[in-house]
Amino acid sequence: MKFLIFHICLLLCLSQTFAQKASPTTLEEYNYVTKGYRMQTEGGLDPKKGYHFNDLFERAFGNYNFVSKALIREQKNEVGAILVIVSSKISQKDYYLCIPVDNIDLLQKYWADISGWEKPLLLAYTQIISIYYGAYAITVHDMDKKPKN
């Protein structure tokens, strides 16, 4: 329970970081990230029109592999959502998650998706997301403080 509460607080902060630079994630984008991307990559389909993904990170952590990508809205060149793919060596399952930007209803959907995970997976996920996005938030904050010439 402590892990979930910490994770919720972290994601609220991260959501606000991304929200400063982008419009809220839509339900269509959420569904594309959690379902459509998998169908696209497994079926060799074309990407959704008006979007592309930028790689963020790929890391192995314990019995899990994590891949994260930013869904970019091409028209505005802004982040629409964050895709996280978790591959479990234990269960042999892949989980496609969407961390939405500034949309509380979709954040609750996301939290519901991860709340049923077994503790080792949730712990590894919380650790890797905390490490990466914590470093990202610090980097963005430091860049904002630099004087602009």
In tens digits, what is the pLDDT along the chain, a chain of 149 residues?
Answer: 454 444 544 555 454 444 456 799 999 999 999 999 999 999 998 889 999 999 999 999 999 999 999 999 999 999 999 999 999 999 999 999 999 999 999 999 999 999 989 999 999 999 988 888 777 667 665 655 666 55
The answer to whether residues 34 and 25 touch, using CB atoms and an 8 Å cutoff, is no
Indicate left, alpha or beta for 50 from its phi (over 0: left) and psi (-120 to 50: alpha). left
Cα atoms in the Cβ-side hemisphere of radius 13 Å centred on 130:
15
* Residue 38 CB burial class (10 angstroms; 0-12, 13-18, ≥19): middle
Domain positions in the chain: 2-140
The enclosing H or E element of 71 equals strand 64-73
